[in-house]
């Protein structure tokens, strides 16, 4: 899976995570540090797979199970896709 931000969506890192701005609608979304970590991993070109994002989560937070990490990654992808902030392909 290849995930990219939609052309008119910009991302800015914050102290607590990341903010996404939909420049077309003027809406913005605040991502906490965990969601920002997932998104940064997913945006990492050919290395940005949901499986890798889940692995990064379990490495960063050892108390998180592989199953929960995979569920969280899928939920974030679904939320970002539903909000039309990202484009998925491949």
Query: What are the phi and psi torsion angles at 5 (to 5°)?
Result: -70, 145
- The predicted structure's pLDDT at residue 90: 58
pLDDT exceeds cutoff 80 at 1: no
Instruction: Please check whether residue 25 lies inside any domain of the structure.
Output: yes
The number of folded domains in the chain is: 1
Instruction: Please check whether residue 90 lies inside any domain of the structure.
Output: no
Q: Give the Cβ contact number of residue 88 at 10 Å.
A: 12
How far is residue 52's CA from residue 47's CA, in Å, rounded to a whole number? 7
User: For the segment 41-75, what is each residue's pLDDT rounded down to a tens digit?
Assistant: 999 977 899 999 999 999 999 999 999 999 999 99
pLDDT exceeds cutoff 70 at 89: yes
Instruction: Please check whether residue 89 lies inside any domain of the structure.
Output: no
pLDDT exceeds cutoff 80 at 77: yes
Rounded average pLDDT over 6-18: 96
Range of the domain at 52: 2-84
Instruction: Please check whether residue 60 lies inside any domain of the structure.
Output: yes
pLDDT exceeds cutoff 90 at 22: yes
pTM exceeds 0.85, yes or no: yes
Instruction: Please check whether residue 14 lies inside any domain of the structure.
Output: yes
């Amino acid at each position: 899976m290849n995930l990219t931000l939609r052309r008119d969506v910009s991302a800015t890192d914050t102290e607590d995570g990341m903010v996404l701005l939909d420049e077309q609608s003027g809406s913005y979304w605040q991502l906490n540090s965990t969601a920002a970590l997932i998104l940064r991993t997913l945006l990492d070109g050919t290395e940005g797979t949901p499986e890798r994002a889940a692995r990064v989560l379990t490495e960063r937070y050892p108390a998180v199970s592989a199953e929960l990490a995979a569920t969280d990654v899928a939920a974030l992808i679904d939320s970002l896709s539903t909000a039309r902030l990202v484009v998925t392909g491949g």
